Amino acid sequence: MPNQNPDLHGNVPDKAGAALLLIDVLNDLEFEGGDRLLESALSMARALARLKRRARAVGLPVVYVNDNFGKWRSDFRQQLDHCLHDDVRGRPVVELLVPDDEDYFVLKPKNSGFYHTTLPLLLEYLEVHTVILTGIATDNCVLYTASDAYMRDLRLLVPEDCAAAIDPGRHEAALEQMRATLKVDTTPSGDLDLDALARVPREGVEQSVR
């Protein structure tokens, strides 16, 4: 019944050229290697919190794309509560990146944020041509989400200070992999001109990187 009208545009106010995606940042880091990841994840979280504030200020939609860690019945509020209130390794990371009411949330069951999720449809309704992809881990869910975004002809930015991996070498290798095969721009977040990204059409997006 609800879908007799396919035009959902009126309900999606945040039309914007670009969107900020945060991959698996609501994360307790309670897995093998999580201890080695903590330091770079914290550094990432600080840069990402700043980038998110700037994105919000210029009207870019913010989308949390998060694993449910195998708990099919849970929603992201439970995941958020767990990360904030249980004594977990990832708590300081999550405290820096608590979602705002205006943010979107997509539950992903596998590595790529596009696989069996509403993300493709959400980005289409937002009329996004560029995705700023951030989060954990650079060489896994970030890379494989980037691959799916590229196949959908989205332009990709992965600011090198806004993603993290267990091993610094693998972080660098994944950035290089994305630059070489997915045309990813890895300019650090501080050098991105978000005003330009919010404004420019697809053709002019190159000018948005100083």
Q: Tell me whether residue 8 is exposed, middle or buried, using C-beta atoms within 10 angstroms of its C-beta: 0 to 12, 13 to 18, 19 or more.
A: exposed
Per CB under 8 A, 193 contacts a second copy = no
Residue 126 sits at φ, ψ, to 5 deg, of: -75, -10
Among 35, 57, 116, 209, binds a second copy (CB under 8 A): 116
Structural contact between residues 157 and 200, judged by C-beta atoms closer than 8 angstroms? no
The CB density around residue 122, as the number of other CB atoms within 10 Å, is 19
Closer CB to a second copy, residue 7 or residue 87?
A: 7
Pick the closest to residue 41 from 169, 111, 135 (CA basis): 135
Pairing mode of beta strands 163-164, 104-108: unpaired
Q: Indicate whether 105 belongs to the interface with a second copy (CB under 8 A).
A: yes
Distances (CA, A) of 107 to 12, 47, 173: 18, 23, 27
Which residues from 168-187 bind a second copy, rule CB under 8 A?
170, 173-174, 176-177, 180-181
CA–CA separation, 83 and 63 (whole Å):
18
Q: Single out the residue of 118, 160, 179, 199 in contact with a second copy (rule: CB under 8 A).
A: 118
| Interface with a second copy, residue 69, by CB under 8 A | yes
Touching a second copy, residues 122-151 (CB under 8 A): 122, 125, 136-137, 139-141, 143-144, 147, 150-151
**Whose structure tokens read 């994944």?**
174
Tell me: does residue 203 bind a second copy (CB under 8 A). Answer: no
Of the pair 177, 193, the CB lying nearest a second copy is at: 177
Report the interface residues with a second copy, using CB under 8 A: 1-4, 6-8, 10-12, 24, 27, 31, 34, 37, 67, 69-73, 75-77, 101-105, 107, 109-112, 115-118, 120-122, 125, 136-137, 139-141, 143-144, 147, 150-151, 153, 166, 170, 173-174, 176-177, 180-181
